[in-house]
């Protein structure tokens, strides 16, 4: 069962994450006395709330062996569509539904090419990233649109449920749902198996295409929802809304222990890495590091999140090999086990 | 019939169709816009396309190996800034030194990418997504708040975009554009005639097989990234000459245009096939689209949407049609072979 | 005994009231009291733009002068994150509890929720260069009158295009920038109001987003889509410099004229090459200085920010808070004036680099004259009056000269000593 094998391995990765999280929090506390204040903690989540919600569905997609680079553009497009429709006089509720539907359509479009035409998701979603951003620009051009109804913008602000915002509550609910779906449902198991080995899954009778399509439609829907959340939070929408969000989102997922090749990763890990990235950004803001530096740090984190497991795995293999060589030969049984682990492992040097 | 199919390789069919599309697009815009067939149009398109072409040569090398380099825009920006700063501080620097500086810095940045991909075993999308952000951050930190100003640059550099190599009637062939063309041709020859070029194709087609066959895969991929970085550095130098004022957001978003040129030009994103000539045609097509849309005063915001659509079409065509064309190609090879075996006297 | 008590109490009361009375009796402008510890953030549109660096230098000068032991933080958003970035900085400043935030706003309305929250937390919000909605700020420091800017731009256009007029286009910054939008609107009003502008035809307004590359491409786009275009008006220092380079690269200098708001140091080579004919600006250094003073006075409670209050802003003299005629309900401090730059007065404002080279050649064998050195090296960036208006001791002048060197003043060891000596002796 994929879950059991993953637990033991990733328990180590998650412990590492938990340690890093404690470290970051400690540094933050030391740096600013305001860090632990409710206002700051709530802000910590609020400023990135859309990214972390999308990271939940991105986890599924990456474990499934694909990637979706277009999420930020879908967020932008849905926000722009909502704003544009509202500006034209459409009632806000209708505009919201339209934006959600648009998000789903965007996802379905990507999903069709990936699931049914078998195109590589990297290329398709890269095209989607550019295409959807372009469509957002056609709608809003250079303008910014605002003046949304009061009930709408209130959803984006804090102090809705105690000090929490609608977004934060939504995130918590979705996190629990995602956790259950990924680890305790058949659907989740299918996602893992397909990510591990697409052909084997197909031969085993799993509905590969439908699963992939479902995931991308869901991704579009959630991105659409988060676009609306962004519009509510900022109070205005411009064509470059949510630009470059995908860096943070992918970092959160990969840092959480999800392998870019698919097949492994846990929701707990992603949850921890979300906290790490948020705390890191918050700490840097409090220290007045510019947005650019923050983004660079996230970029470095992204690379490290894949580099470190590689190095650890290499180190472990080297250690095992050395251990096997040092042991005296004639002993049977256990010795053979050690040696058999030294399989040829063609390292994937050029897979993207 | 089979012999006709043999005349043109699948890649060449792709390039030809691209050429036809370009001709069609030019004719279409020519009918819509006054004064379209003028030297000025050629000027505009060639100047805006030349930097993309140079960087796209490097990107093609990387994409051929089934990798990708998103950090090119940050490399162009960073090298443009550093080069601009160095020459602002000593105006007597010779052009050769300045270009060498840009190339060297770009190569070093590409080296980092290459090491992480080839030796760190990290997928290129992850590495270059990260270095895209990191190099940009380095540029912002290093540059601080100071922009490079045109008044601090030597005259030869500021005037460089206007230098003509030669003039045909009213058409001026600018030096920088000619250099860009030359680079495309040189690397096309590399791909066709040098072993290195063949290795790139091999690795892109099947990385595992290439490695097991004993090819020095890591070194080849590393070199591809280094060259991509170096060419981006050259692009940075050209950017400095053209724009002059370099701020910390120089060349932002360039990587999208470069990848568009590469993909539309027929270079398969999954590696293993594509040519420099095709990439050049892709770059030219994108450049024509962009300039013509501006001329038609069509909302420039349609540009991005078109780009995305074109990329998707290109990828879809490549995946769906090209495979079929290649099948026909392979099958016709078998048929010809059979025909020769069974009827030797007919020749 | 009773009378003694009464008398003592009266005296005591008088003594207690005296300071209050004297303050009330004081109807002269408020002089700044140095030494208050105030942490302040200077938040420009884009920290990479040279004009804002100059503003920062001005603010630092004021910071030194007022001997504020608190922190002056200069930070800003990255260009693609212009508005959310500023919101974030304001929000974290609120969390930290700084005393004042000085903002050149990237958007007129979007920042207001954040600035309102900051003001509710007791933070002073002063805008400069580019304001927000009046209800979101305490005061706006206007570098020039915004309507006047429109007239200046219209006049420059008229001057360049002459009587026969012609087509012209505007290359602006970001579409949300409140200052540029106000200036463009003012220009359009000016054009409509007076007969003399009748032959000027505005054919397009495009946005270069204050990004050199985009502005470069937009300038070329204007030329391409309007074949009869005769003038580009760019009320943004980034835009005008980029447009100048674009025109130069395409060999269009003189064929398409260029004007707007430009930074002299950036535009020097273009005016020489004939690619930019005339442009205007004000001193960003002074703007930063003045903004700092006002924010300091407000945050320390020495002024309350009401219309009619006047105060002395260091070396810049006296200013009064007035109603902003261009924004209903807004209050402003008007700095002024405009400076016009063109080929005719080129020698006065250009040649910073050349002067330094000439001065270095003269150094050999000539005795170091502090006064002459100041005239050569220090007036590159600002006028002599600024120096002459001040009176400091040796420590003060040493600190100031060192600060100037860190800003880029060209003085070697001996020259520095000569300048300091001269200043101490004469000021």
Contact A39, C117 (CB under 8 A): no
Residue appearing with tokens 């497009």: A77
Instruction: Please say if the pLDDT value at position B336 is more than 90.
Output: no
Residue appearing with tokens 């970092």: A251
Opening angle at CA C245, ends C242 and C246, nearest 5: 85
How big is chain C by its Cα radius of gyration, in Å?
Answer: 24
Q: What is the mean pLDDT of residues A157-185?
A: 90
Instruction: Please say if the pLDDT value at position B50 is more than 60.
Output: yes
Inspect the interface and report whether the beta carbons of A291 and C73 lie closer than 8 Å: no
SS (H, E, C) C82-112: HHHHHHHHHHHHHHHCCCEEEECCCCCCCCH
Name residues whose C-beta falls within 8 Å of residue A147's C-beta, 6 or more positions apart in sequence.
none
Inspect the interface and report whether the beta carbons of A34 and C85 lie closer than 8 Å: no
**Interatomic CA distance for residues C79 and A291, integer angstroms:** 10
Name residues whose C-beta falls within 8 Å of residue A303's C-beta, 6 or more positions apart in sequence.
B116, B122, B126, B127, B130, B131, B134
Probe site for chain B from C224, C234, C247, C276 (most B CB atoms < 10 A): C224
Neighbours of chain C (3+ CB pairs under 8 A): A, B
Q: Which residue is closest to A287 within chain C, CA to CA?
A: C92
Average confidence (pLDDT) per 10 residues, chain C, 427 residues: 68 62 61 89 87 91 91 84 86 89 91 92 93 92 88 90 90 88 92 89 89 88 87 93 92 91 87 90 91 92 89 89 88 86 79 39 46 66 62 70 64 71 72
Task: Tell me which residues of chain A have a C-beta less than 8 Å from any C-beta of chain C.
Answer: 32, 34, 37, 39-40, 43, 47, 142-144, 146, 234-236, 238, 240, 243-244, 285-286, 288, 290-292, 295
CA torsion sign for A25, A28, A29, A35 is: negative
Using DSSP, state whether A72 is helix, strand or coil.
helix
Provide the pLDDT confidence category of residue A145 given band limits of 50, 70 and 90. confident
Inspect the interface and report whether the beta carbons of A236 and C110 lie closer than 8 Å: yes
A134: left (phi over 0), alpha (psi -120 to 50) or beta: alpha
Sheet containing C318-320: give its strands across.
Answer: C30-31, C310-312, C318-320
Give the domains, in start order, of chain A with CATH numbers: 2-320 (1.10.3470)
pLDDT at A170: 94
Contact B307, A130 (CB under 8 A): yes
Sort out which chain A residues have CB atoms less than 8 A from B316's CB and list them.
113, 117, 119
Instruction: Please say if the pLDDT value at position A108 is more than 90.
Output: yes
Using DSSP, state whether C123 is helix, strand or coil.
coil
Inspect the interface and report whether the beta carbons of A240 and C88 lie closer than 8 Å: no
Q: Output the six-digit token pair for C234.
A: 């760019």
Name residues whose C-beta falls within 8 Å of residue C223's C-beta, 6 or more positions apart in sequence.
C229, C247, C250, C252, C256
Closest Cβ opposite residue C78 in set A32, A235, A290: A290
Sort out which chain A residues have CB atoms less than 8 A from B133's CB and list them.
247, 295-296, 298-300, 302
State pLDDT tens for residues A225-262.
999 999 998 888 988 888 889 989 999 999 998 988 88
Using DSSP, state whether C259 is helix, strand or coil.
strand
Inspect the interface and report whether the beta carbons of B120 and A134 lie closer than 8 Å: no
Sort out which chain C residues have CB atoms less than 8 A from B149's CB and list them.
50, 241, 265-266
The enclosing domain of B111 has a CATH number of 1.10.3470
Inspect the interface and report whether the beta carbons of C88 and A295 lie closer than 8 Å: no
Contact C300, C290 (CB under 8 A): no
Task: Tell me which residues of chain B have a C-beta less than 8 Å from any C-beta of chain C.
Answer: 35, 40, 43-44, 47-48, 140, 143-147, 149-152, 158, 161-162, 242-252, 291, 294-295, 297, 300
Probe site for chain A from B118, B126, B314, B319 (most A CB atoms < 10 A): B126
Opening angle at CA B153, ends B151 and B157, nearest 5: 125
Closest Cβ opposite residue A288 in set C75, C78, C207: C75
Percent of chain B with pLDDT strictly greater than 90: 47
Closest Cβ opposite residue B149 in set C56, C248, C266: C266
Q: Which residue is closest to B303 within chain A, CA to CA?
A: A134
State pLDDT tens for residues B316-330.
887 777 777 777 877
Inspect the interface and report whether the beta carbons of C269 and B250 lie closer than 8 Å: no
- Per-chain mean pLDDT for chain B: 87
State pLDDT tens for residues A147-162.
889 889 888 877 778 8
**Interatomic CA distance for residues A201 and A209, integer angstroms:** 11
Q: Number of Cβ pairs closer than 8 Å across A and C?
A: 60
Task: Tell me which residues of chain C have a C-beta less than 8 Å from any C-beta of chain A.
Answer: 47, 73, 75-78, 80-81, 83-85, 87-89, 91-92, 95-97, 107, 109-110, 113, 175-176, 207
Sheet containing C40-43: give its strands across.
Answer: C72-74, C40-43, C100-103, C124-128, C139-142, C331-334, C322-323
Inspect the interface and report whether the beta carbons of A144 and C110 lie closer than 8 Å: yes
Contact A28, A286 (CB under 8 A): yes
Residue appearing with tokens 């806000």: A92
Q: Output the six-digit token pair for C189.
A: 């009003």
Closest Cβ opposite residue B245 in set C52, C225, C245: C245
Is residue C238 within a helix (H) or strand (E), and if so which, with residue range?
helix C237-249
Neighbours of chain A (3+ CB pairs under 8 A): B, C
Inspect the interface and report whether the beta carbons of B140 and C224 lie closer than 8 Å: no
Closest Cβ opposite residue A298 in set B133, B138, B259: B133
Q: Which residue is closest to B126 within chain A, CA to CA?
A: A303
pLDDT at B301: 72
Contact C282, C52 (CB under 8 A): no
CA C231 to chain CA mean position, Å: 26
Probe site for chain C from B147, B174, B238 (most C CB atoms < 10 A): B147
Q: Output the six-digit token pair for A150.
A: 């009061």
Q: What domain count does chain B have?
A: 1
State pLDDT tens for residues B80-113.
999 999 999 988 889 999 999 999 999 999 999 9
Is residue C281 within a helix (H) or strand (E), and if so which, with residue range?
strand C278-281
Q: Which residue is closest to B251 within chain C, CA to CA?
A: C213
Inspect the interface and report whether the beta carbons of B123 and A260 lie closer than 8 Å: yes
Closest CA–CA distance from residue A107 to any residue of chain B (Å): 14
Nearest to A92, CA basis, from A18, A154, A179: A154
Q: What is the mean pLDDT of residues B158-178?
A: 85
Q: Is C246 exposed, middle or buried (0-12, 13-18, 19+ CB in 10 A)?
A: buried
Q: Which of A335-349, B249-263, B266-280, C396-410 has the lowest average pLDDT?
A: A335-349
Inspect the interface and report whether the beta carbons of C92 and A143 lie closer than 8 Å: no
Q: Number of Cβ pairs closer than 8 Å across A and B?
A: 169
Give the domains, in start order, of chain C with CATH numbers: 31-144+284-340 (3.40.50.2300), 146-281 (3.40.50.2300), 351-426 (1.10.760.10)
- Per-chain mean pLDDT for chain A: 86
Closest Cβ opposite residue A285 in set C80, C88, C110: C88
Closest Cβ opposite residue A307 in set B118, B122, B212: B122
Sort out which chain B residues have CB atoms less than 8 A from C80's CB and list them.
249, 252
Any chain B CB within 8 A of the CB of C75? no
Paired sense of beta strands C139-142 and C200-207, if any:
unpaired
Q: Whole domain around residue B59: which residue ranges?
A: 2-346
Q: Is B248 exposed, middle or buried (0-12, 13-18, 19+ CB in 10 A)?
A: buried
Using DSSP, state whether C71 is helix, strand or coil.
coil
Is residue B332 within a helix (H) or strand (E), and if so which, with residue range?
helix B323-342
Q: Output the six-digit token pair for A62.
A: 């990456």
Inspect the interface and report whether the beta carbons of B162 and C227 lie closer than 8 Å: no
State pLDDT tens for residues A16-52.
889 999 999 999 998 888 788 888 888 889 889 999 9
Inspect the interface and report whether the beta carbons of B146 and C50 lie closer than 8 Å: yes
Range 351-370 of C in CB contact (< 8 A) with B: 353
**Interatomic CA distance for residues A63 and B242, integer angstroms:** 45
Residue appearing with tokens 């991929």: B221
Nearest to B326, CA basis, from B11, B2, B83, B4: B11
Residue appearing with tokens 């900022």: A234
Contact C299, C124 (CB under 8 A): yes
Closest CA–CA distance from residue B89 to any residue of chain C (Å): 12
Paired with C281 in beta bridges are C339
What ipTM describes this predicted complex? 0.81
Is residue C232 within a helix (H) or strand (E), and if so which, with residue range?
strand C229-234
Instruction: Please say if the pLDDT value at position B27 is more than 60.
Output: yes
Sort out which chain C residues have CB atoms less than 8 A from A163's CB and list them.
none
More confident residue, B188 or B34: B188
Contact B55, B239 (CB under 8 A): no
Closest Cβ opposite residue B250 in set C56, C213, C224: C213
**Interatomic CA distance for residues A316 and C59, integer angstroms:** 56
Name residues whose C-beta falls within 8 Å of residue B142's C-beta, 6 or more positions apart in sequence.
B78, B81, B82
**Interatomic CA distance for residues B183 and B189, integer angstroms:** 10
């Amino acid at each position: 069962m994929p879950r059991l094998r993953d637990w033991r391995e990733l328990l180590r990765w998650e412990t590492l994450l938990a340690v890093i999280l404690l470290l970051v929090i400690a540094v933050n506390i030391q740096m600013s006395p305001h860090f632990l204040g409710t206002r700051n903690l709530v802000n910590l989540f609020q400023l990135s709330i859309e990214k972390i919600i999308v990271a939940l569905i991105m986890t599924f997609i990456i474990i499934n062996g694909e990637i979706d680079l277009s999420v930020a553009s879908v967020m932008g497009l849905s926000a722009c569509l909502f704003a544009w429709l509202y500006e034209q006089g459409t009632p806000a509720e209708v505009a919201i539904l339209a934006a959600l539907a648009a998000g789903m359509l965007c996802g379905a479009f990507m999903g069709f090419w990936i699931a049914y035409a078998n195109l590589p998701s990297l290329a398709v979603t890269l095209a989607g990233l550019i295409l959807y951003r372009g469509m957002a620009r056609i709608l809003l051009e250079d303008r910014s649109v605002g003046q949304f109804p009061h009930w709408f913008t209130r959803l984006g602000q804090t102090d809705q449920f105690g000090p929490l915002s609608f977004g934060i509550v939504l995130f918590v609910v979705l996190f629990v749902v995602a956790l259950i779906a990924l680890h305790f449902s058949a659907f989740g198991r299918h996602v893992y198996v397909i990510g591990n080995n697409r052909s084997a899954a197909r031969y085993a009778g799993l509905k590969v295409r439908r699963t992939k399509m479902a995931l991308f439609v869901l991704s579009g829907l959630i991105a659409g929802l988060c676009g609306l959340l962004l519009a509510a939070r900022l109070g205005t929408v411009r064509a470059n809304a949510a630009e470059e969000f995908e860096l943070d989102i992918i970092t959160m997922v990969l840092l959480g222990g999800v392998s870019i090749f698919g097949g492994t990763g846990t929701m707990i890990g992603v949850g921890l890495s979300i906290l790490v990235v948020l705390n890191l950004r918050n700490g840097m803001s409090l220290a007045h590091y510019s947005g650019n530096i923050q983004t660079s740090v996230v970029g470095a984190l992204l690379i490290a999140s894949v580099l470190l497991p590689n190095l650890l795995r290499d180190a472990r293999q080297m250690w095992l090999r050395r251990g096997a060589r040092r042991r005296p030969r004639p002993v049977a049984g256990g010795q053979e086990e050690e040696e058999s682990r030294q399989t040829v492992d063609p390292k994937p040097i050029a897979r993207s | 019939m089979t012999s006709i199919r043999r005349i043109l390789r699948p890649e060449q069919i792709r390039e030809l169709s691209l050429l036809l599309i370009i001709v069609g697009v030019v004719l279409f815009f020519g009918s819509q816009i006054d004064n379209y067939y003028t030297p000025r149009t050629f000027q505009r398109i060639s100047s805006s396309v030349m930097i993309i072409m140079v960087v796209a040569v490097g990107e093609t090398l990387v994409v051929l190996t089934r990798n990708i380099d998103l950090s090119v825009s940050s490399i162009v920006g960073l090298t443009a800034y550093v080069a601009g700063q160095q020459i602002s501080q000593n105006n007597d620097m010779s052009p050769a030194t300045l270009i060498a500086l840009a190339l060297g810095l770009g190569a070093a940045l590409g080296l980092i990418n290459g090491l992480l991909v080839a030796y760190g075993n990290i997928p290129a999308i992850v590495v270059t997504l990260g270095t895209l952000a990191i190099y940009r951050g380095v540029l912002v930190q290093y540059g601080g708040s100071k922009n490079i100003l045109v008044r601090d640059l030597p005259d030869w550099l500021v005037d460089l975009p206007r230098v003509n190599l030669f003039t045909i009637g009213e058409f001026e062939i600018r030096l920088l554009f000619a250099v860009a063309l030359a680079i495309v041709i040189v690397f096309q020859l590399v791909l066709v005639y040098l072993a290195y070029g063949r290795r790139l194709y091999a690795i892109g087609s099947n990385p595992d097989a290439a490695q097991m066959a004993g090819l020095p895969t890591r070194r080849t991929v590393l070199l591809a990234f280094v060259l991509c970085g170096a060419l981006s550095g050259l692009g940075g130098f050209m950017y400095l000459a053209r724009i002059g004022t370099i701020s910390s957001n120089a060349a932002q978003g360039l990587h999208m245009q470069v990848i568009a040129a590469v993909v539309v030009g027929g270079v398969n994103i999954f590696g293993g096939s594509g040519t420099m000539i095709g990439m050049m045609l892709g770059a030219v097509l994108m450049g024509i689209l962009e300039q013509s849309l501006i001329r038609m005063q069509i909302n420039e915001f349609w540009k991005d949407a078109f780009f995305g659509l074109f990329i998707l079409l290109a990828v879809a065509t490549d995946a769906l049609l090209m495979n079929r064309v290649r099948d026909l190609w392979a099958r016709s090879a078998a048929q010809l072979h059979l025909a020769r075996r069974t009827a030797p006297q007919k020749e | 005994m009773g009378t003694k008590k009464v008398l003592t109490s009266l005296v005591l009361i008088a003594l207690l009231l005296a300071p209050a009375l004297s303050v009330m009796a004081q109807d002269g402008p408020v002089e700044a009291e140095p030494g208050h510890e105030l942490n302040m953030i200077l938040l420009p549109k884009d920290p990479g733009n040279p004009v804002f660096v100059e503003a920062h230098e001005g603010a630092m000068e004021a910071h030194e002068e007022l001997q504020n032991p608190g922190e002056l933080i200069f930070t800003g958003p990255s260009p693609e994150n212009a508005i959310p970035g500023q919101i974030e900085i304001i929000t974290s400043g609120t969390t930290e509890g700084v005393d004042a935030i000085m903002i050149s706003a990237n958007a007129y309305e979007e920042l207001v929720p954040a600035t309102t929250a900051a003001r509710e937390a007791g933070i002073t919000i002063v805008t400069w260069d580019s304001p927000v909605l009046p209800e979101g700020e305490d005061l706006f420091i206007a570098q020039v009158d915004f309507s006047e800017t429109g007239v200046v731009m219209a006049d420059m256009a008229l001057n360049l295009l002459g009587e026969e007029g012609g087509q012209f286009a505007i290359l602006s910054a970001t579409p949300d920038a409140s200052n540029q939008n106000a200036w463009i609107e003012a220009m359009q009003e000016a054009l409509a109001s007076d007969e003399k502008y009748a032959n000027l035809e505005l054919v397009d307004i495009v946005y270069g987003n204050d990004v050199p590359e985009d502005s470069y491409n937009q300038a070329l786009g204007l030329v391409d889509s309007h074949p009869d275009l005769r003038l580009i008006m760019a009320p943004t220092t980034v835009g005008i410099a980029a447009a100048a380079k674009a025109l130069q690269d395409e060999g269009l200098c003189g064929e398409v004229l260029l004007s707007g708001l430009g930074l002299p140091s950036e535009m020097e080579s273009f005016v020489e090459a004939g690619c930019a004919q005339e442009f205007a600006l004000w001193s960003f250094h002074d703007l930063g200085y003045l903004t700092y003073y006002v924010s300091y006075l407000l945050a320390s409670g020495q002024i309350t920010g009401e219309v009619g209050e006047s105060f002395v802003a260091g070396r810049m003299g006296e200013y009064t808070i007035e109603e902003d005629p261009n924004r209903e309900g807004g209050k402003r401090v008007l700095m002024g004036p405009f400076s016009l730059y063109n080929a005719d007065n080129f020698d006065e404002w250009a040649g910073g680099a050349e002067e330094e080279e000439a001065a270095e050649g003269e150094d050999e064998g000539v005795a170091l004259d502090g006064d002459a050195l100041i005239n050569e090296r220090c007036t590159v960036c600002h006028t002599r009056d600024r120096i002459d208006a001040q009176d400091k001791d040796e420590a003060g002048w040493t600190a100031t000269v060192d600060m100037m060197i860190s800003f880029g003043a060209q003085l070697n060891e001996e020259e520095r000593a000569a300048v300091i000596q001269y200043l101490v002796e004469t000021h």
